[in-house]
Chains A and B, each alone.
Chain A
Amino acid sequence: MARFPKPPEGSWTEHYPALGTGPVSYEDSTSPEFYERERRAIFKRTWLNVGRVEELPRSGSYFTKEIAAANASVVVVRGKDGEVRAFHNICRHRGNKLVWNDYPLEETRGTCRQFQCKYHGWRYDLEGALNFVQQESEFFDLDKDAYGLLPVHCDVWAGFIFVNFAPEAEQPLTEFLGPMVTDLEGYPFDEMTARFGYRTNIAANWKLFMDAFQEFYHAPVLHAKQSPQKYSAMAQQAGFEAPHYRIEGPHRLVSTSGVRFWEMDSELVKPMEITTRSGLFGPWDEVDLGEMPKGVNPAHCDPWGLDSFQVFPNFVILLWSQGWYLTYHYWPTSHHTHVFEGNVYFLPATNARERIAQEMAAVTFKEFALQDANTLEATQMGIESGYVDRFLLNDQEVLCRHLHKEVADWIAAYESVPEVPRP
């Protein structure tokens, strides 16, 4: 029934022959031992997005990020010179966690002139230098210059702040991201400051949630009860096909075609969608974002729906044709749990009507995501039972296949070189 042309090999999956077409194992999502290998080979070794520069509007703005998979807590701060830096969130005196509020495990953010340890009052400036030691003369040959905060590699691309815990980053950030991702440079991420943030703990491996959002084969079925019955029936009958998939290095992309809800019969849309002129795909009234960078809608789909960029390992940038974007982060906390963060970004509303349309899109996003989240826990239970060890993936699930292979490849590459001392 192919509605869109497939690559000459006959399928997207065969277009990338290293992926194979056979059944796959999800032992990588159920094994505590495998998770430990992932932590070493991936989360302690590659670039991880921890936020956006808009979260650090001025000198002294900071936030902390807990990254359990790298066994790390970082402080990300804008210095007096305007530079964004990251440090291990550890006081150099006795190892106390430096920046936290009421509970040391909770992330925090704010603005300060310097960081002061709650334990003995050591102080660090915004560039990480140790500049005050309580009763300094009691110490022995203390060289304060040698005890600044331990830096973490930090770089910024298109306003997205990344950190890397490797002793030396193996690739510069933009080289790691590669042209498929960096061709998004110029998209007005910096103007989309109206942000709706979501967060939850998920009782499933992080890759399983990535899988849930990197295929849309599930959408007409799992989300059937999110739409008027007539629409759901049509959607299920049609099934899902994406017009374009692309894999480049460790990253992957799916583009989908658009749906013109505003041209549809009223029986096919929710009454609230008609009133607010908004829904899952975002506000119906187009916003003018100017000329798009070449990385957007790379297959020139018309009508175009969205581009979902799956940035290795655990970060997603999803651009909607209606002029807004989402990010997802999946932060592993064990082999079968992770923290999910979803952020929805719009241009700031200029009136109540626009604000209400954004609310409708954000509320609808949550309703869908709750169904995905619940299903994941059921999936984890199913595969973790261990009774079935081979599972099928179709051509619309090509990106799931790639993620699991890429994770395995990173581990194999890492483990093939002799162990080097790690921090």
Chain B
Amino acid sequence: MTRLLPAQFADLEPYAQTWCRRTEAERWAVRAASSMQELADFYDAAFPRLEAAIEYCDEHPLDALPDDVGRLVELVHSVVMVSMAVEIFGQPKTVDSADAVLHRVREPRP
């Protein structure tokens, strides 16, 4: 299988296919479609590695990230999004949001 993340983060490779997403809209859709168990598994594996991941990404200029490092940034963005569900809500959806939606229609790249 092709490696998506830098070799130092091989332990997160099982989550890369699902969570390396270019846009917030895609990450949001994956969070909404995931079970709490899936979100907790991803968070438990990735959260302890965040500081190392951010330090690793910072070794490269933000506007010239190699592909695998760019995907690592995307994965970190996903952990940030998932943290809301795991640390606070205890459910994939925002508590008390019912059927409200808010689309992110533009964002900086990366």
Does B89 reach chain A (CB closer than 8 Å)?
Answer: yes
* Pairwise interchain contact B105-A197, C-beta atoms closer than 8 A: yes
Q: Judge whether A373 is part of the interface by a CB distance below 8 angstroms.
A: yes
B16 CB-CB contact with A under 8 Å:
no
Cβ A370 vs Cβ B108 within 8 A: no
The distance in angstroms between the C-alpha atoms of A270 and B84, with both chains bound, is: 9
Which of A225, A348, A371 makes the CB contact (< 8 A) with B108? A348
A367 proximal to B (CB < 8 A): yes
Chain A residues with CB below 8 A from B62, complex form: 349-352, 355
Q: How far is the CB of A382 from chain B (nearest CB, A)?
A: 15
Which of B47, B73, B94 neighbours the largest number of chain A CB atoms within 10 Å of its CB? B94
Does B88 count as interface, using CB distance less than 8 angstroms?
yes
Separation of A370 and B80 alpha carbons in the complex (Å):
17
Asked if A196 and B58 sit within 8 Å, CB to CB, the answer is no
Given A351-B58, A367-B94, check contact A272 B102 (CB 8 Å): no
Provide the residues of chain A in CB contact with B60, threshold 8 Å.
352
Give complex CA distance A362, B25 in Å. Answer: 13
Contact of B76 among A227, A356, A362, A364 (CB under 8 A): A356
Interface residue? A366 (CB, 8 A): yes
Is B98 among interface residues, defined by CB-CB distance under 8 A? yes
Nearest neighbor of A361 in chain B, beta-carbon distance = B80
Q: Does A377 contact B (CB under 8 A)?
A: yes
Interface residue B22 (Cβ < 8 Å from any Cβ of A): no
Taking the complex as formed, is A337 at the interface, i.e. its CB lies under 8 A from any CB of chain B?
no
Measured between beta carbons, the chain B residues less than 8 angstroms from A363 are 24, 80-81, 84
A199-B100 CB under 8 A given contacts A275-B51, A353-B58, A356-B76: no
* Shortest distance from the beta carbon of B97 to any chain A beta carbon, whole Å: 4
Near A by CB (< 8 A), chain B positions 66-108 give: 73, 76-77, 79-81, 83-84, 87-89, 94-108
Query: In the complex, which residues of chain A have a beta carbon less than 8 angstroms from the beta carbon of B47?
Result: 271-272, 275
B54 within 8 A of A: yes
Per-position binary interface string of chain A over residues 209-233, scored 1 when its CB falls under 8 Å from any chain B CB and 0 otherwise: 0000000000000100111100000
Q: Which of B76, B84, B96, B105 contacts A199 (CB 8 A)?
A: B105
Give the size of the chain A interface in residues (CB under 8 angstroms). 42
Q: Is A359 an interface residue (CB 8 A)?
A: yes
The dominant DSSP class at the A interface is helix
**Contact, CB under 8 Å: A196 / B108:** yes
Q: Which residues of A contact B54 (CB under 8 A)?
A: 352-353, 356
**B12 interface contact, C-beta 8 A:** no
CB-CB < 8 A to A349: which residues of B? 62, 108
A194 within 8 A of B: yes
For chain B, the bracket of interface size reads: 35 or more
Report the nearest A residue to B108, measured CB to CB. A194
Q: B36 contacts the other chain (Cβ, under 8 Å)?
A: no
* Set of chain A residues within 8 Å of B103, measured between Cβ atoms: 198-200
Residues on the B chain within 8 Å of A348, using CB: 108
- Minimum CB–CB distance from B100 to chain A (whole Å) comes to 4
Contacts of B76 in A (CB 8 A): 352, 356, 359
Nearest-CB distance from B87 to chain A (Å)? 5
Whether the Cβ atoms of B108 and A271 lie closer than 8 Å is no
Are A370 and B58 in touch, CB under 8 angstroms? no
Within 8 A of B (CB), among A230-286: 270-272, 275-276
With A271-B47, A373-B97 in contact, do A226 and B80 touch (Cβ < 8 Å)?
no
Complex CA gap A377/B102 in Å reads 14
Residues on A with C-beta less than 8 A from B89 are 225
A360 at interface (Cβ–Cβ under 8 A)?
A: yes
B40: interface (CB < 8 Å): no
**B104: contacting residue among A197, A272, A360, A367, CB under 8 A:** A197
* Contact of A97 with B by CB under 8 A: no
**11 chain-A/chain-B pairs, Cβ below 8 angstroms:** A197-B106, A228-B88, A272-B79, A348-B108, A355-B110, A356-B76, A356-B77, A359-B77, A363-B24, A369-B102, A375-B96
